[in-house]
Amino acid sequence: MELKGTNGVLIAYDDYVEISRKSLGGFITQGNKGNKKFFYKDLISIEYKKPSKLANGYIQFVVNPEMATSQSVGITGQTNLDASKDPNAVILRAFKKSFAKETEEFYRYVDKRLSYYKTETDRKPTEINDLRNLKSLLDDGIITQEEFNSKKKQILGI
C-alpha cells in the first residue's frame, strides 16, 4: 500500500512501514537522506491528522515519545516548519476528497498492523509464564505427560 505526501512517500508492508524521500518535496525538506523503515514492533504509536481541502494533515510514526515533534498544520495549507522537517512524519494535502479517503485507509491499515504486532508482543510473555506453570504442574505430578503435551500445543497454537 502506498500513499504520496508533500514531503515523502509512505509505503506500508506486512511488518514495517517505510518513508521514501525520493520526491521533490522530500528532497527539499529532508535533503538526500535514504528511506526510513519503521518496524511495527518498534513503534510506540502513530499520530494521524486527516487532511481536508482547507488544511494539511500528517502521519507521524512515534518510536521514542520524548523525541516526538509536535505537528502543526495551518488552515490555509501552511505547514509548521518542524512538521515538514520531522524525519518521522509525512505531510498530507488533500485537494480531492478521494485523497482524504486514501489517507484514512492507509492509516487504518498501518494502525491495524501496529495493533496486531502489539498484541503478539504482549501475548508472548503470558504464553511463557503459562508454559512454566504447566511444567511445574507436570514436575509436581499434578498433571500427566499427555495432559502437559495437549495443553502445551493449545498454548502455542500448534
CA 52/CA 101 separation, integer angstroms: 10
Domain membership flag for residue 51? yes
* Within-domain flag for 154: no
Q: What is the pLDDT of residue 71?
A: 52
Q: Please indicate, yes or no, if residue 136 is contained in any of the structural domains.
A: no
Distance CA 78, CA 6 (A): 11
Amino acid at 19: I
Residue 128 lies in a domain: no
Which cell numbers hold the place of 52?
A: 481536508
Residue 26 placed within a domain: yes
- From residue 90, alpha-carbon distances to 15, 36, 81 in Å are 19, 12, 12
On whether residue 133 sits in a domain, the answer given is no
State the pLDDT at residue 77.
46
For the stretch 12-53, pLDDT in tens is 999 999 998 876 555 555 556 778 899 998 999 999 999 988
Q: In whole angstroms, what is the distance from residue 24 CA to residue 77 CA?
A: 18
With residue 155 as reference, give the H or E element that holds it: helix 145-156
Give the confidence band of 63 by pLDDT, cuts at 50, 70, 90.
confident
Domain span including residue 51: 2-117
CATH number at residue 18: 2.30.29.30
Predicted pLDDT of residue 104: 94
Which cell goes with 50? Answer: 486527516
Question: In which band, very low, low, confident or very high, does the pLDDT at 114 lie, cut at 50, 70 and 90?
Answer: very high
Kindly state whether residue 20 falls inside one of the protein's structural domains: yes
Domain count, the chain: 1
> Where does residue 31 rank: exposed (0-12), middle (13-18), buried (19+ CB within 10 A)?
exposed
Q: Does residue 152 sit within a domain?
A: no
pLDDT averaged over every residue in the chain:
81
- For residues 53-70, average pLDDT: 77
Question: Quick one: average pLDDT of 74-102?
Answer: 72
Q: Report the alpha-carbon distance of residue 7 to residue 111 in Å, rounded.
A: 21
Per-residue pLDDT, 30: 59
Mean pLDDT in residue range 130-142: 90
